[in-house]
Structure 1
Amino acid sequence: MSEDMRRSVREAENAVFPDGILTEDGIIRRVGSFDALRKEAPEAEVFDYGNGTILPGFIDGHSHLSAVAYSMILFNAKPSPSGNCDTPEQLIEEAKKFLRTITLEPGQWFLGLGYDNAVFPGERHLTRQELDQISTEIPIAITHVSGHLCAVNTKAMELYGYDKPGCDVPAGGEVDASGLLKEEAFLSPAKASVVKGPSPAQLMKALEQASDYYASFGITTMQDGKVRKGELELLKAAGRAGAIRGDVVIYLAPETAEEYLPKQNPAENLYESHCRLGGAKIFLDGSPQGKTAWLSMPYHIVPEGQPEDYCGMPVQEEQDVREFFEKCIRNRWQVNVHANGDAAIEQMLRCYEYALMDTKKGSGGNENLRPVVIHCQTVRREQLTRMAKLGMTASFFLDHVYYWGDYHYSSVLGAERASVISPLRWAEEEKIPFTLHQDSPVVEPNILFSIHNAVNRRTKEGRVLGENQRISVLEALEAVTVHGAYQIFEEGSKGAIEPDRRADFVVLEKNPLETLPEEIKDIRITATVKDGRIIYER
């Protein structure tokens, strides 16, 4: 990001804010005095937001729009306050109730999202025997809140082909006899194709609801990460039908990128019916709360059955990662890389550096493609320095501090390492244009709550986790506006309220810069405007 862009945002702290914005055909034409703009365009329609604060529309740093749509029609297995499943017993009872309210087609699976073993007694996972209490005839799969683990019943184990000793498990995955599947054991294309979920008609309606849901949090540009062919076609159809009212930037799974992603600079990929292909997405490890993230040092408390030096695991072979990065660089694809653990981040740095050197020996394709480290939970300071030199950006899942900070402190990482998860202050000092995200549907896409957490860094139990990694309110607002636009190559059209940019706004009842830090989470969204049209109003 240029210093001019950074300086222009910081000048906002001392600026006298204009009270009028003139838009035409979805574009900002003038910004200034309302009275002067009214004289210039006397026939213009007027929207008066009173004493509200108008900011650029929030830009999602990373999430899964399709999965959010799924979550709206699947069983909610989350604990309170997002659900009612604080124990395995409660989850089983809630699932039985849900099963009685729905009609599944022949062969359709009972699917649930969001169980969290961190709140269960003894931090244990669900077992297939427990899920068999819901049904032994219907295949059941309940995904962990991280999205990297999945508990299944006996029927699902059979359909996956995991019901016999010595079964074939995809590379990068693990299967426990209890019915717990890890990573590629259920995420690989071959295994994902086994699952029969909701119908396209159900999903189309759910995508419309999901789009509206994002808008209710002030988000005008969403993301959908690691999209496969079926989801891509559904997103395009939803866009053409007018079901998606905000913009969505789509990152494709590697096998889908080969077929659909054009070989051109990401900035040249244009929107069609609010959908745009942003690049490709790859996973290098799992999740810290699921204890599958790949760390350089052992987990504070290793999972049961693992050796004392257990550090999680990679999910990709080194050579495969190098070759994929080379392909991205040669094809001029931006790549989003899921990397939570510092060992996974090290693998990304190592392989991307190698790929850059290798492509320089050949022909072209070496311009700055802004590769994004997604989640970046346990990144080390020296790794941030290397990321900056490589032109990488980071998107931090900062809400971990609130939702799982106490668990990281006591079980996952221990006090010292937990205090520097999502080190925003270090990233700011290294001048990395980072963004914030919620990885929805892992948690709701509440941008203001992420800003609150970045400023306060307080856990559920009230512990301040890494006071020296706090950032200012303005820096957090940068992350979800101007930095968000830069990350997706749209800094010329989004991220600021200036002439010739999209008329994308969020209207807040209070100014976050004038609100007590501990009260930012309570600010309400008044309206969300996309291309000059209201897409949400309280």
Structure 2
Amino acid sequence: MTPYDTASTQILVARKILTMEADRPEATHVAVRDGEILAVGGPADMAAWPDAAQLDTLRDKVLMPGLVEGHCHLMEGAMWDAVYVGYFDRRDPDGRLWRGLRTLEQVIDRLASAASQLRDADAPLLAWGFDPIYFGASRLSVRELDRVSATRPIVVMHASVHLMNVNSAMLAQAGIDADTDIDGVHKDAQGQPTGELQEFAAMFPVQRVLGSALSLAAAENGEAVRRFGRVAQLAGVTTATDLVNDLSPKGLETLRAVTAEADFPLRIVPAFSPQRNAQGGPARVQAAAAAGTDKLHFGPVKFIVDGSIQGFTARLRAPGYAGGQPDGLWLIPPQQLLDAFTPFHLAGLPLHIHTNGDEATEVVLDVLEAMLSRHPRADHRHTLQHCQLADAAQLARAARLGLCINFFSNHLYYWGDAHVEQTVGPARAARMNPAGTARRLGIPFAIHSDAPITPLNPLFTAWCAMQRQTASGRVLGEAERLTLADALYAITMGAAYTLKLEHRIGSIAPGKLADFAVLEDDPTAMAPASLKDVRVWGTVLGGRVFPAPAR
């Protein structure tokens, strides 16, 4: 990508500018100097800078604040080193369209084709995006993967990243057998591992063999970070999280080097994950923050309390899973949560806590209420991430505790039908990701993709929250729909607020960073059902124009 050069002061002219500011929601001109916004308005408002360079490149475009993805992962840039075997079509960072696989046999065929292209007979075959919930009674096990190869290690990461399947060769290399006593190592009636590994403890022996491949440690891979930047730019995103990060020395060095590149088009917010590496605690986050830059911001701390609803590892209250499956797994034992959260809270850091199931949400609300009672803190900005099955009473508690929520609205499209028919039934599926209730309760909220779990595309996420439509066209919980204005706010100012960055990004106003999404279409002039089809031309980051590369 080749960004346009910028003068010291310049005026960007657009067909329309959507500011997300109530006092002036629309404009046509924005003055920028040294990466910040000087003024927003019409031609008359630019009179104070008669000598400013005027950039007309965007004259026929629509500008809105650079989109903010408040829950995603740098893994989105790293996963494309593996083979995509997902159910839905997916486009890679280079623009190639990978067709979704609708049968288990198609998955096996793509794996076999990929295996035939590997020259090293001992190299592992890595794949990602698989989800057995789309295939009914058909399961992927050692038996099926050994059809591809019984000698080459094979690892297939599920779309949720909370489960994986491996073949017999990988089980052997990881040391997993009938005697392995780890929660999440699935076994058949004879007590033999089936190759399905549920959650991080069960996957750890495999991850130890693989190293950084198919892991959350993508920050250490410079090319993966660059690919992530391209994916974000194609979606109009100018600020994105890496919501599980070790803050390892190598990862920090890589992030600083890549984000310092002039043509890197993204600001990144890594969140420290004590579950993966607790060494250093709050001081580790504070040290990283002290060395942050305008394109690299630290502060959030991420905890993962339960698992995946479609993977049946999330923790649900009664009546539990609709099909009678056993309750999910605690990734942190509830009795350890208070001790885990408190040091970071006392250090003034915002907690971002993954709670998918409503039992996990209830437990975390209890812990946060006890912690805030003992250690009150104004504007703590603690955020429940996903929080998909929270009911009205739980949301009311969250409001009283001053919490933010970041809903996983894309779930409604990708897994809504499965939630109705297989996981939680129609009543609970209809209340999933209840952004409408959060809006009525005054809870600050955002919506997200959790990329690479689903594609990074906030305009599509906003469409999901507005339409609440499944892949088959079924509408879930019409009362929870957002308006267009609320949905666009959620992917700009809403997400910025959860990251404590609303003073710098999220709207187009004087004093904020000159970060814009550049659109071909005006989302406010289109039918709400067409929001997912808005075309992104590129982005502006700190006043620098980044046209999206041609596909």
TM over 0.5: yes
Contact 1:266-1:334 at 8 Å conserved across structures = no
Q: Separation in 2 of the partners of 1:96 and 1:536?
A: 38
Corresponding pairs, count: 512
Q: 2:16 aligns to what?
A: none
Contact (CA 8 Å) 1:322, 1:355: kept in 2 or not? yes
How far residue 267 of structure 1 moved from its aligned partner, in angstroms, is: 12
Name which of 409, 413, 417 aligns with 1:402. 413
Deviation at 1:107, TM superposition (A): 6.4
Q: Which residue identity is paired with 2:114?
A: F
Q: Verify the 8 A CA contact 1:112 1:142 in the aligned structure 2.
A: yes
Note the C-alpha offset of 1:473. 0.3
* C-alpha spacing 1:175/1:244, structure 2 compared with 1 (3 Å): farther
Kindly state the Cα deviation for residue 16 of structure 1 after the two structures are TM-superposed: 6.8
1:394-440 CA distance string (max 9 Å, x none): 11110111111111111111111111000011000111111111010
Q: Tell me how far apart the structure 1 counterparts of residues 448 and 181 of structure 2 sit (CA, whole Å).
A: 35
SS in 1 for 2:450: coil
- The residue aligned with 1:488 is 499
Q: 1:59 to 1:295 in 2, by over 3 A?
A: same
Per the TM alignment, residue 316 of structure 1 is displaced from its structure 2 partner at its CA by 1.6
Q: Structure 2: how far apart are the matches of 1:202 and 1:382?
A: 42
Bigger mean CA offset, 266-275 vs 108-117: 266-275
Asked if 2 retains the 8 angstrom alpha-carbon contact of 1:240 and 1:273, the reply is no
* Cα separation, 2, equivalents of 1:506 and 1:269: 29
Mean Cα deviation higher: 179-188 or 36-45: 36-45
1:68 corresponds in structure 2 to 76
What are the within-5 Å matches in structure 2 for residues 52-201 of structure 1?
52-65=61-74, 67-82=75-90, 83-102=99-118, 108-122=123-137, 124-163=138-177, 165-169=178-182, 173-176=184-187, 177-188=193-204, 192-197=207-212
Q: Could you tell me which amino acid in structure 1 is paired with residue 540 of structure 2?
A: V
More displaced stretch, 508-517 vs 410-419: 508-517
Tell me by how many angstroms 1:128 deviates.
1.2
Q: Distance in 2 between matches of 1:483 and 1:249?
A: 15
Residue matched to 2:239: 221
Contact 2:67 2:236 in 1 (8 A): yes
Q: How far off is 1:386 after superposition?
A: 1.1
Q: 1:324 to 1:16 in 2, by over 3 A?
A: closer
User: Counterpart in 1 of 2:95?
Assistant: none
* TM-score, normalising length: structure 1: 0.88
C-alpha deviations, 1:137-187, integer Å up to 9, x for none? Answer: 322111111111110111211222212x23142xx6443321100012345
Question: What is the 5 A alignment of 1:343-354?
Answer: 343-354=359-370
Structure 1 residue 441 corresponds to structure 2 residue 459: no
Q: Which residue identity does 1:253 align to in structure 2?
A: S
Q: How does 1:259-270 map to 2 (within 5 A)?
A: 259=280, 261-262=282-283
- Give SS of 2:384's match: strand
1:144 maps to amino acid: H
Residue aligning to 2:5: none
Q: Does 1:29 align with 2:42?
A: no
1:292-331 maps to which residues of 2 (within 5 A)?
292-302=313-323, 306=325, 310-331=326-347
3-state DSSP class of the match of 1:179?
A: strand
Gaps of 5+ in 2: 1-18, 91-98, 188-192
**Unaligned 5+ runs, structure 1:** 1-7, 361-365
Does the 8 Å CA contact 2:66/2:239 hold for their aligned counterparts? Answer: yes
**Match in the other structure for 1:47:** 56
- Which residue matches 1:280? 301
Does residue 1:289 correspond to 2:304, yes or no? no
Cα deviation for residue 268 of structure 1 reads 6.7
Q: Distance in 2 between matches of 1:467 and 1:450?
A: 16
Q: 1:19 is paired with a residue of what secondary structure?
A: strand
Cα RMSD (Å): 2.7
The partner residue of 2:26 within 11, 17, 23 is 17
Instruction: Find the aligned partners of 2:341 and 2:44 in 1 and give their Cα distance.
Output: 53
Between 1:254-263 and 1:440-449, the stretch displaced more is 254-263
How far 1:85 moved relative to its partner? 2.4
Task: Out of 393-402 and 106-115, give the one that drifted further.
Answer: 106-115
TM-score (norm 2): 0.86
Secondary structure at the counterpart of residue 142 of structure 1: strand
Distance 1:206 1:332 in 2: 31
Q: Map 1:370-449 to 2 at 5 A.
A: 370-449=381-460
Matches within 5 A, 1:496-515: 496-515=507-526
Aligned partner letter, 1:111:
L
Whether contact under 8 Å (2:382, 2:404) holds in the other structure is yes
1:468 equivalent among 479, 482, 489: 479
Task: Provide the C-alpha distance between the structure 2 equivalents of 1:98 and 1:182, rounded to a whole number of angstroms.
Answer: 25
In the alignment, the residues of structure 2 paired with residue 114 and residue 354 of structure 1 have an alpha-carbon distance, to the nearest angstrom, of 38
Question: Secondary structure at 1:445's aligned position in 2?
Answer: coil
